């Protein structure tokens, strides 16, 4: 979000509107890049529905209160005034747009890097309980209907990958703006450690991240330890120093680390064990930028044009994932090859300078369509 704002700042003044459940750590970063928060909209629980309201919610694609939250009327009115006064809007997420209760967003780009129907469908496939699976498939269907009318509501939709663009089909004019990462000002040199380390970066307060790490620790890690008893698992990110770090004596939860580059430089591989979710994972671009070998599930690498064995290793079963971990710890040359290929592809496709052209073209398309 901030990187998109930095690019948009090259075109004009940029202000933020956020809901009051946003990450407060963003405050300092928003101020650092001289953006102002023009409105903090307060979220309230949506009123309970009667029978007619429930039927409308289930069947009408134009029913916006899908997640059960909406902003106050005064904040909705303030947002409507800003729509009238600004040249262009960039909205992060369909859920955010719907919370404002505004159906038509003229001169607006909807940034939909996480497509809701895909998120709930993937969660349903991984649900262990039948009831949860049914509930998730229901929500996937609800969101799918709402995604079919995006062209009536927004000028342009920005998807995170070509696959997401094809999924959205002809519901709206769709451009592709991939997730990116800034290359480090200085690359931390790779350092071999004994015992060897495998690592993970990501907040464990986000369900897909927590689900993936728990799966790795439960189903993959014992297989890795059987082959390499001394190897350690290093976890970085919000919540990683909590209970999950106590899952084993060889698991180190480091918590949130401002600059993890030197730590990541000691890892034989970074893992992306994502098994549910939607959109593309910035973890992939981040690891590529730090020249750390990557092992990912197919879903974790979704949306990135990468080849297993050339840019990273893909594995979807516990046995295959464990074998990939063992291979990269033992085969340093393979890790170096993956890093070099991934680094070169990162520079061509996933730095924010490389992505900037797509952002500017999207803005131009939005302005032309609503001229």
pLDDT in tens, 204-222: 888 888 889 999 999 999 9
- Give the model confidence (pLDDT) of 306-363 as tens digits: 999 999 999 999 999 999 999 999 999 999 999 999 999 999 998 888 899 999 999 9
The answer to whether residue 192 is domain-embedded is no
pLDDT band at 27 (very low <50, low <70, confident <90, very high): low
CA 316/CA 275 separation, integer angstroms: 9
Q: Phi-psi bin for 197: left (phi > 0), alpha (psi -120 to 50), beta?
A: beta
**Mean pLDDT estimate for the chain:** 87
Using alpha carbons only, give the angle 201, 204, 210 rounded to the nearest 5 degrees: 100
The residue segments making up the domain with residue 111 are 2-180+353-369
Closest C-alpha among 237, 259, 254 to residue 186:
259
Task: Report the predicted TM-score, pTM, of the whole model to 2 decimal places.
Answer: 0.81
Q: Which CATH number belongs to the domain containing residue 49 in this structure?
A: 3.40.50
Beta bridge partners of 159: 176
Residues 358 and 342 in one domain: no
pLDDT, one tens digit per residue, over 214-265 is: 999 999 999 999 999 999 999 999 888 888 878 888 999 999 888 889 999 9
Give domain status of residue 63, yes or no. Answer: yes
* Claim to verify: residue 174 and residue 212 sit in the same structural domain: no
> For the chain, where are the E strands, in sequence order?
15-19, 36-41, 43-45, 69-71, 89-92, 105-111, 154-159, 174-176, 197-201, 232-236, 251-253, 269-272, 294-296, 313-314
Do 201 and 336 sit in the same domain of this protein? yes
Residue 247 tokens, joined: 């899952």
Kindly give, in sequence order, each residue whose CB lies less than 8 Å from that of residue 65, ignoring residues fewer than 6 positions away.
Answer: 46, 57, 98, 101
């Amino acid at each position: 979000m901030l990187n998109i704002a930095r690019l948009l700042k090259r075109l004009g003044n940029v202000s933020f509107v956020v809901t009051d459940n946003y990450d407060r750590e963003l405050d300092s970063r928003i101020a650092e890049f001289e953006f102002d928060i023009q409105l903090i909209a307060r979220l309230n629980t949506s009123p309970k529905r009667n029978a007619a309201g429930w039927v409308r919610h289930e069947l009408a694609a134009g029913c916006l209160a899908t997640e059960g939250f909406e902003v106050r009327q005064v904040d909705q009115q303030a947002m409507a005034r800003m729509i009238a006064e600004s040249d262009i809007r960039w909205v992060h997420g369909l859920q955010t747009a719907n919370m404002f209760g505004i159906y038509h967003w003229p001169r607006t780009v909807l940034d939909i890097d996480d497509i809701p129907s895909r998120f709930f469908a993937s969660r349903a496939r991984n649900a262990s309980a039948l009831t949860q699976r049914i509930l998730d498939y229901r929500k996937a269907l609800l969101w799918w209907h709402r995604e079919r009318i995006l062209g009536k509501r927004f000028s342009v939709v920005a998807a995170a990958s070509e696959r997401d663009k094809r999924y959205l089909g002809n519901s709206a004019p769709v451009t592709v703006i991939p997730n990116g990462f800034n290359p480090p000002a200085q690359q931390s040199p790779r350092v071999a450690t004994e015992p060897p380390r495998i690592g993970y970066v990501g907040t464990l307060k986000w369900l897909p991240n927590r689900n993936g790490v728990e799966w790795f620790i439960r189903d993959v890690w014992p297989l890795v330890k059987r082959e390499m008893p001394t190897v350690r698992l290093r976890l970085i990110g919000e919540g990683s120093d909590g209970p999950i770090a106590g899952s084993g004596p060889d698991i180190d939860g480091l918590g949130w680390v401002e600059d993890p580059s030197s730590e990541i430089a000691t890892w034989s591989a970074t893992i992306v064990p994502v098994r549910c979710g939607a959109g593309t994972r910035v973890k992939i671009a981040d690891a590529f930028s730090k020249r750390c070998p990557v092992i990912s599930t197919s879903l974790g690498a979704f949306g990135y044009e990468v080849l297993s064995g050339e840019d990273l290793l893909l594995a979807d079963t516990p046995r295959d994932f464990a074998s990939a971990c063992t291979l990269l710890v033992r085969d340093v040359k393979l890790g170096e090859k993956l890093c070099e290929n991934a680094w070169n592809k990162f520079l061509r496709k996933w730095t924010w300078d490389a992505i900037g052209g797509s952002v500017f073209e999207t803005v131009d398309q939005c302005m032309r369509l609503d001229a």
